Amino acid sequence: MHINNPCVIVVKEKQKWNTDMQHELQGIQAFVKIAEIGCFTKASQFLHISQPALTRRIQKLEESLGTTLFERSTRSVKLTTVGREFLPKAKNLIDFYESSIMSIKEMATHQAGVITVSCIPTAAFYFLPSVIRDYNNDYPNIRIRILEHSASDCLEAVLNGDADFGINMINITHPNIDFAPLVNEPFVLACRRDNPLAKKQLVTWDDLAGMKLIGVRRSSGNRSLIDQAFEKMDWKPNWFYEVRHLSTSLGMVEAGLGVSVVPSLAMPTDEHHVLVSRPLIEPVIRRTLGLVQRRENPLSPAAEKFRELLVQLWSAENNSPWIGKFTQL
């Protein structure tokens, strides 16, 4: 099952806009350099691109402007009337762009502050490390606080202003909170490789009868989703062990104490020497993770940039083979 993700759609549109702007800027830079040198060949050498690539940049710029900028002949290149009028404006535009980039880099180097993100443990493990690394490269003096909370406490931290925004499950809601989905994932069976269920391609909940089930406590948001799915069914999971954290349940599975049911993202991303996961059906139970933010409460520029990086990362990771095998279930 594929779910359209509004966050991903917005990011892709923004990425396309950024790409178009970059191409137009490259075209303007090429135009100025050709006008200054008076030769396509020498300009291409100066810009370290091939002459056909330089020609394409000028053609695209002329198409975008709807006019011709150069009069071309076999011996020379001259500016048209429009080209002569455009040249000083193009130079000013490039000067403004370069000075702005220098100013932003200077600000990023010296900018300081703190971003606080409240999230459930799965998100802290999977979503955040690579985002933090990229963000710190651009803003080395901005500190990041990660508050690992249960689903309800995560929401409370955002509502109280203790966190700029959070990563939480959609089933934990509040009228003053906006939720933007990032991923919809199924719960899977976690077992040892030597467990008979590991040989099956698909595992049903009925297959778990007689197994020692390791589950999270009743107050957990993950446990609530499972309990709700079986609310009107005769058969219900019989949890033999109850723990506080998903990581604890996986440790107990690895020790051979039983099997567990966990969100797919809680499983190790690389092939584990002991643990395996199997799709769990009849019923398939899913959860949606996303960004939670106080309604009508804009983020600081630093926090907004961090949020954008998080969404960009997920839009890229959502197409990876590891994620794909779960999102299509």
Q: What is the pLDDT of residues 257-301, one digit of tens each?
A: 999 999 998 898 778 899 999 999 999 999 988 899 998 788 888
pTM: 0.60
Positions of E strands within the chain: 70-72, 77-79, 113-119, 142-148, 165-169, 177-192, 203-204, 213-216, 239-243, 259-263, 275-281, 286-294
Please indicate, yes or no, whether residues 220 and 147 belong to a single structural domain of this protein.
no
Domain contains 23: yes
Which regions of the chain are under pLDDT 70? Answer: 1-20, 74, 102-112, 171-172, 315-329
What is the predicted pLDDT for the residue at 15?
52
What is the predicted pLDDT for the residue at 182?
85
Q: With 0-12 CB in 10 A as exposed, 13-18 as middle and 19+ as buried, what is 101?
A: exposed
What is the predicted pLDDT for the residue at 324?
46
Strand, coil or helix: 169: strand
Domain contains 1: no
pLDDT tens across 208-261, in order? 998 999 999 988 889 999 999 999 888 889 999 999 889 899 999 999 999 999
Please indicate, yes or no, whether residues 78 and 125 belong to a single structural domain of this protein.
no
What is the predicted pLDDT for the residue at 85?
92
Domain contains 17: yes
Please indicate, yes or no, whether residues 141 and 71 belong to a single structural domain of this protein.
no
Please indicate, yes or no, whether residues 123 and 259 belong to a single structural domain of this protein.
no
The CA–CA distances, whole Å, from 10 to 16, 28, 97, 263, 320 equal: 10, 27, 25, 26, 19
Please indicate, yes or no, whether residues 11 and 82 belong to a single structural domain of this protein.
yes
Counting every residue written for the chain, the total comes to: 329
Domain membership of residue 96 as a residue range: 6-110
Backbone angles phi, psi at 281, to 5 degrees: -125, 175
Question: How far is it, in rounded angstroms, from Cα 177 to Cα 297?
Answer: 10
- Report the C-alpha dihedral over residues 311, 313, 318, 319, rounded to 10 degrees: 130
What is the predicted pLDDT for the residue at 228?
92
Please indicate, yes or no, whether residues 155 and 199 belong to a single structural domain of this protein.
no
Domain contains 59: yes
What is the predicted pLDDT for the residue at 215?
94
Domain count, the chain: 3
Domain contains 131: yes
Domain contains 96: yes
Please indicate, yes or no, whether residues 90 and 124 belong to a single structural domain of this protein.
no
Provide the token pair at 75: 């011996």
What is the predicted pLDDT for the residue at 5?
52
DSSP letter for 196, please: G
DSSP letter for 183, please: E
What is the predicted pLDDT for the residue at 123?
81
The domain spanning residue 198 has which CATH number? 3.40.190.10
Strand, coil or helix: 261: strand
Please indicate, yes or no, whether residues 211 and 253 belong to a single structural domain of this protein.
yes
What is the predicted pLDDT for the residue at 323?
44
Question: How far is it, in rounded angstroms, from Cα 81 to Cα 293?
Answer: 53
Cis peptide upstream of residue 321 (ω within 30 degrees of 0): no
Domain contains 238: yes
Buried b (16+ CB within 10 A) or exposed e, 109-135: eeeeeebbbbbbbbbbbbbbeebbeeb
Provide the token pair at 256: 């051979």
Question: How far is it, in rounded angstroms, from Cα 202 to Cα 279?
Answer: 5
Query: Which of 197, 213, 179 is closest to 287 using CA atoms?
Result: 179
What is the predicted pLDDT for the residue at 20?
64
Domain contains 19: yes
Please indicate, yes or no, whether residues 31 and 101 belong to a single structural domain of this protein.
yes
Please indicate, yes or no, whether residues 85 and 103 belong to a single structural domain of this protein.
yes
What is the predicted pLDDT for the residue at 292?
92
